[in-house]
Amino acid sequence: MYSTLTRNFEKQSERDQPLVLIVDDNYDNLLFASYVVELMGMHYVIAENGEECLSLVYEQLPDIILLDVVMPKMNGLEIAQIIKQNKKISHIPIIAVTGLTKTEDKNKLLEGGFDDYLCKPYFIEELEAKLYLYLQPPSV
């Protein structure tokens, strides 16, 4: 699966490559996700907190957001709700990246504005599949 996804996104012209906003307060998590996104041939920007996230969403208008749920000051659920309430940016898919694995937690995230979720720790293939699902490049 990995090599197929990489080829699909790399065949797109530079300006047509998806932009992924990766938000996490843990540097290792940012590094891992950005590495996968880059290998898939996409562009990315990173934010380490909710304020940076919202600023980048308005400035960059990413194609998708990978959003950590448990963060200080403003958690991912609060951020997702702010984004989904704004008509200019509410169309952007938001994937929760979380260690919360209980069914009630997942339901709360989906009801709160997230489009999908990944449970930490996740496999590279899981992240690729979610990105591919929401960013489906045109077939060549």
Which pLDDT score is estimated for 4?
47
Cα–Cα distance measured from residue 124 to residue 51, given in angstroms and rounded to the nearest whole number: 27
Query: Is there a contact between 127 and 33 (Cβ–Cβ < 8 Å)?
Result: yes
Cα–Cα distance measured from residue 44 to residue 97, given in angstroms and rounded to the nearest whole number: 16
Per-residue pLDDT for 134 more than 50?
A: yes
Which pLDDT score is estimated for 137?
58
Which pLDDT score is estimated for 133?
94
Which pLDDT score is estimated for 36?
95
Looking from the CA of 89 toward its CB, the CA atoms found within 13 Å total: 23
Domains and CATH numbers, the chain: 2-135 (3.40.50.2300)
The pLDDT confidence band at residue 100, using thresholds 50, 70 and 90, is confident
pLDDT-above-70 percentage for the chain:
86
Per-residue pLDDT for 90 more than 80?
A: yes
Per-residue pLDDT for 49 more than 70?
A: yes
Q: What is the pLDDT of residues 54-71, one digit of tens each?
A: 999 999 999 999 999 999
State the virtual CA torsion across 87, 92, 98, 104 in degrees, nearest 10.
60
When mean pLDDT is compared across 14-18, 44-48, 58-62, 107-111, the lowest value belongs to 14-18
Cα–Cα distance measured from residue 18 to residue 23, given in angstroms and rounded to the nearest whole number: 16
The pLDDT confidence band at residue 1, using thresholds 50, 70 and 90, is very low
Cα–Cα distance measured from residue 110 to residue 81, given in angstroms and rounded to the nearest whole number: 11
